[in-house]
Structure 1
Amino acid sequence: MPRSRLFGPLAAIVGFLAFVEFTSGIIQGYYTPMLTDIARHLGIHDADVNWLEGSQLALSALVVPAFAKLGDMVGHKRMLLISTAVTAVASTVLPFTDSFAVFLAAWAIQGFYSVWLPLEVALIWSRSRRAGHSASVTAKAAGLLVAALELGAISGALVGGALVDALPLSTVLLIPAAAVVACFFVILFGVKESPELAGGRLDTVGLVLVSLALLALTGGLSFLRLNGPADLLSWGLVGAGVVLGAVFARFELRHPDPLIDVRMFRSPALRPVFLTAGLFGVSVLGAQAPLSTFARTDPEVTGYGLGTQGFATSLLIGVYLIAMIVGALVFPAAARLLTPRITLMIAASLVAVGYLLFLPLHATYAQVVVNMVIAGIGSGALVAALPAAAAAAAPVHQTGVATGLTNSVKTVGGAIASCVFGIALAGHALGGAAAGGAEAGGTAGSFSGYVTVWLVCGLTAVAAVVLLAFVPRFAFTDAAAEEPVGIR
């Protein structure tokens, strides 16, 4: 299909999908300034906020592989609609409960939105593939979608931070639910289905195995946070998760139509992308709650923190998200100029620098803003680049699976980090809270825990840079996308 004939319909689809990502951004940004208020509403410790984040990330890790595979099989739009309906129901429950158990369950189920971006990128790839320039088109579209996502997150953070200071929390929590319901009808009437579907049957045995592996792994980490690093049962669950993961991989290698084609991890282009996604998930997902609670911590009581209120916290988050928009929009141009591989390495380097700067510079609002802007530019580029890179390097009928894998692995990294950071903030990881720390602050996380968060986020980003150095030089370009390399 000529590019001029393709661009019109594709541009319309990207526009509707941008609204979907705007809604996703609202979900991701809206609650962050009020996490402390939610903790007080539910009567829980600041460190227990990580239960919310960790449970949502764990469920997301279970959902994305199945929905990505089903998207390739029966239609990406269809799975977008189903995931949006489930997200809408969960979002509607949140304003009407003060029970931590019910709130936790609804919050976790709300994580179905995590499959939206992988399905959208796969849908755009499938519609642009016939024109012969799917890698460049998908990279541009992914940048626009991520920009819409972050714009939604900025809007959500600013509105949420302002409303939580003025209205009852139950009223404030109604806004995201209304946005997700509107999103459902935008998809229903505005988005067309993928032109090529793979068909087949869902690998239910593989789904059960990977679900059990992820539940054992994240459950073990959660119990470690509750019972401390000396708990043998917790480590046993972690070990069981690893063993089940190995069993899953062996089963998938023998399956004629696997849920996840683990052979993709052998590709010299895809393997570093998946590993980078996992390492990136540590900071972009696992560190969100600690950054918010650190900003809200009163330095006059604990000796650290910024002592910001809801709206000031939302402004801090807004600056970070603006930086992510810049990174997402600059990525396609930088990839054309420097190649996608070099652009990914630069982006990961910025994330590393931003978080490692927190170690000496965290005492003032301005210092935290500078750190978050640097990390934000790199994070925005990576959010846009990773699914586009996976689609470009994946087999033709597995683009949904490949883009979903970047999100799944990123989510697993975030879920693991969330559990580890929860342990650190509760004072277990480094032998208790620092002087003037959690004990002085009552419900505040320990300062040594925040140091752990910044250090882990910075070092995992450094590891991602090293991994990306081994990617083939011209990977993820239109020429390379024609024939994925190294999958046997």
Structure 2
Amino acid sequence: MPTFPLQSAKGRSVMAASILASSMAFIDGTALNVVLPALQEQLQATAAGLFWVLNAYLLMLAALILVGGALGDRLGRKRVFMTGILVFIAGSAACGLAGNVEQLVLFRVLQGGGGALMIPGSLSLLSSSINENEQGKAIGTWSAFTTLVTMGGPVLGGALADAGLWRYIFFINVPIGLISLFILRRHVPEQRDESAAGGIDYMGGVLTALGLAALTFGFLRMPEYGISHWQSWGALAAGVLLLAVFVRVEMQSPHPMLPLHLFRNRTFSGANLLTFFLYAAMGTGMLFVSLNMVQVQGYSQLQSGLTFLPFTVLMILLARPAGSWADKTGPRPFLVGGPLLAGTGLFLMSLAGETGGPSHYWTTFFPGILVLGLGMSLTVAPLTATVMGALPPQLSGTASGVNNAVTRIASVFATAIFGALAVLLLAKDVRQGLEGLTMNDGVKSAVVAETVNLGNAHPPGGVPRELTSTVKALYKEGFIAAYRKILLISAVLGWLSGLIAWWMIPGKAQFRKRPSASG
């Protein structure tokens, strides 16, 4: 397939379209973390409802993104990319019009379907179009600019949420998507893998979606019903069984959605394992930091969004150079040091207890956000280049799809597991705090049941007036304690991802350039 220089007219067009379309998908995640409190209040959603708003999109994305990558390789990356953008625009507009949580979850599923076609097309089109010796630089540029737009999401989301306009987080995708479609239509040539043949493994996509959905349902049921309830353990068992069937189907399929033999490549396996733990850690950390700031620490949603600006600045300054440095030195130092720094940043944020609000930001959350931003800035471009370079160019769509699927699966599991864990930890602390209070058992049960709302929990009716402030304090102290434990676990996951890179990613002398089609 013909390639062209990054600075050529076609190179700049591919870069612009990839950045704009990718930003649509990524901005929703970061902006939603900030607007969740406003969304929860306006739509009267429980914590489980909030986690479904996040996971409905991620489930579809994780389940179908590999199908999207394979479709791009076979039918044309530009064509599938543009189709995904159209579906994503439609889903975004519908999300903005949703009248309740159930509708929003449904339309987020539509968004996820569009994203599954759009996201792998972005990087695979970029990777297959740009000259090989400039791919690290191209991916670094893509990382820097998408991060600039993406991390601007919290600021934009906070401003809109404070103004009561959180729905415009979805509506803003419409003009961005239309501009990217115009560029693709007019200036970007089609790219496809001429050797690709065979059918598409839709069964694999269905099994993945059902398996992940069942696991998510089981984890989110646990706080309310407990692990011994059939809805909890039954859903978890069904999820494990469906994913086991998925692996069996992939082993026997002549055209598997997930070619399991790819994981014999140690570099590819290591990079994806690193991705899983690192993005589970970062996604959990950023979600709970946002909830903590707004619902407990007294930040406005705009102030919460602004707190991530140091992260954004570091990504803008370092992501592109890190990609170029990794081209010269090999990715291993970046993939070891970056995640270790990111884990340290999460650990520093776990130390924050009850603060004095935004005025204490610089001595509480800022050091952790700064170190987390530095770690991720050094990791993102080298990690993406490592994943894409571990396989032949004919498999660029599959490589991008697998890595993006791993990222989303990590977020699904992290949101479901840590969301359930947060409710359980908060309920346990509140239950213990109620033991010394004079209150009938029915009211105590109602107080504990309110913990499903996490930081948005309020004393229910029936609580004696003189104990209202005490119950509020129990909610606040319990949430902060749960937050600190979850951020600490996230830090450990970040450190673990760095150790995985040290173990599985080769050093400069052993690191191979992208393999040929023959392997």
Whether TM exceeds 0.5 here: the answer is yes
User: In terms of mean alpha carbon deviation, does 46-55 or 258-267 score higher?
Assistant: 46-55
Superposed displacement of residue 43, structure 1:
0.8
* C-alpha contact (below 8 Å) 2:342/2:373 kept by paired residues: yes
- What's 1:453 paired with? 486
Matches within 5 A, 1:78-227: 78-111=79-112, 112-113=114-115, 116-128=118-130, 131=131, 134=132, 136-170=133-167, 174-197=171-194, 198-227=196-225
* C-alpha contact (below 8 Å) 2:318/2:378 kept by paired residues: yes
- What's 2:273 paired with? 275
CA distance in 2, matches of 1:57, 1:475: 35
CA distance in 1, matches of 2:255, 2:51: 36
User: Computing the radius of gyration over CA atoms, which structure comes out larger, 1 or 2?
Assistant: 2
CA distance in 2, matches of 1:325, 1:477: 30
Specify the code of the residue in structure 2 equivalent to 1:440: K
* C-alpha contact (below 8 Å) 2:60/2:209 kept by paired residues: no
Say if 1:171 and 1:465 are closer, same or farther in 2 by CA, change over 3 A.
closer
CA distance in 1, matches of 2:307, 2:91: 28
- What's 2:500 paired with? 467
Specify the code of the residue in structure 1 equivalent to 2:370: V
* C-alpha contact (below 8 Å) 2:285/2:346 kept by paired residues: no
- What's 1:321 paired with? 312
Superposed displacement of residue 476, structure 1:
11
- What's 1:35 paired with? 36
Specify the code of the residue in structure 2 equivalent to 1:404: G
CA distance in 2, matches of 1:2, 1:93: 39
User: In terms of mean alpha carbon deviation, does 472-481 or 188-197 score higher?
Assistant: 472-481
Specify the code of the residue in structure 1 equivalent to 2:157: G
* C-alpha contact (below 8 Å) 1:424/1:446 kept by paired residues: no
Specify the code of the residue in structure 1 equivalent to 2:248: R
CA distance in 2, matches of 1:387, 1:76: 18
Superposed displacement of residue 443, structure 1:
8.2
- What's 2:263 paired with? 265
User: In terms of mean alpha carbon deviation, does 259-268 or 225-234 score higher?
Assistant: 225-234
* C-alpha contact (below 8 Å) 1:164/1:172 kept by paired residues: no
Superposed displacement of residue 115, structure 1:
5.5
CA distance in 2, matches of 1:172, 1:408: 24
Superposed displacement of residue 4, structure 1:
7.3
Superposed displacement of residue 173, structure 1:
5.1
Structure 2: which 5+ runs fail to align? 435-454, 458-470
CA distance in 2, matches of 1:476, 1:231: 54
Say if 1:359 and 1:5 are closer, same or farther in 2 by CA, change over 3 A.
closer
CA distance in 2, matches of 1:380, 1:58: 26
CA distance in 2, matches of 1:27, 1:189: 27
> Secondary structure of 1:20's match?
helix
- What's 1:242 paired with? 240
Say if 1:384 and 1:476 are closer, same or farther in 2 by CA, change over 3 A.
farther
Say if 1:225 and 1:263 are closer, same or farther in 2 by CA, change over 3 A.
farther
Match of residue 365, structure 1, among 337, 355, 361:
361
Structure 1: which 5+ runs fail to align? 299-305
Say if 1:461 and 1:242 are closer, same or farther in 2 by CA, change over 3 A.
same
The alignment's TM-score, normalised by the length of structure 1, stands at: 0.87
Superposed displacement of residue 263, structure 1:
1.0
Q: Deviations over 1:238-296 (max 9, x none)?
A: 23322332332233223222111011122111111111111122123333332211110
CA distance in 1, matches of 2:508, 2:265: 11
User: In terms of mean alpha carbon deviation, does 324-333 or 448-457 score higher?
Assistant: 324-333
* C-alpha contact (below 8 Å) 2:28/2:170 kept by paired residues: no
Superposed displacement of residue 412, structure 1:
0.9
* C-alpha contact (below 8 Å) 1:35/1:289 kept by paired residues: no
Q: Confirm whether residue 70 of structure 1 aligns to residue 71 of structure 2.
A: yes
Say if 1:74 and 1:25 are closer, same or farther in 2 by CA, change over 3 A.
same
CA distance in 2, matches of 1:67, 1:165: 36
Matches within 5 A, 1:285-304: 285-298=283-296
CA distance in 1, matches of 2:489, 2:345: 12
* C-alpha contact (below 8 Å) 1:16/1:190 kept by paired residues: no
CA distance in 1, matches of 2:33, 2:505: 38
Superposed displacement of residue 81, structure 1:
1.4
* C-alpha contact (below 8 Å) 1:115/1:404 kept by paired residues: no
- What's 1:231 paired with? 229
Match of residue 307, structure 1, among 292, 298, 301:
298
> Secondary structure of 2:198's match?
coil
CA distance in 2, matches of 1:6, 1:138: 8
> Secondary structure of 2:365's match?
helix
Superposed displacement of residue 36, structure 1:
0.8
Specify the code of the residue in structure 2 equivalent to 1:365: Y
User: In terms of mean alpha carbon deviation, does 429-438 or 213-222 score higher?
Assistant: 429-438
CA distance in 2, matches of 1:396, 1:172: 35
Q: Confirm whether residue 440 of structure 1 aligns to residue 442 of structure 2.
A: no
- What's 2:462 paired with? none
Superposed displacement of residue 208, structure 1:
2.9
Superposed displacement of residue 169, structure 1:
4.3
- What's 1:55 paired with? 56
Say if 1:242 and 1:429 are closer, same or farther in 2 by CA, change over 3 A.
farther
User: In terms of mean alpha carbon deviation, does 415-424 or 89-98 score higher?
Assistant: 89-98
Percent identical residues: 22
Specify the code of the residue in structure 2 equivalent to 1:126: S
The alignment's TM-score, normalised by the length of structure 2, stands at: 0.82
CA distance in 2, matches of 1:77, 1:475: 34
Q: Deviations over 1:120-147 (max 9, x none)?
A: 221222224xx5xx2x522221211121
Say if 1:386 and 1:418 are closer, same or farther in 2 by CA, change over 3 A.
same
* C-alpha contact (below 8 Å) 1:16/1:187 kept by paired residues: yes
Say if 1:184 and 1:285 are closer, same or farther in 2 by CA, change over 3 A.
farther
Superposed displacement of residue 316, structure 1:
0.9
Say if 1:68 and 1:187 are closer, same or farther in 2 by CA, change over 3 A.
same
CA distance in 2, matches of 1:477, 1:189: 42
Superposed displacement of residue 202, structure 1:
0.5
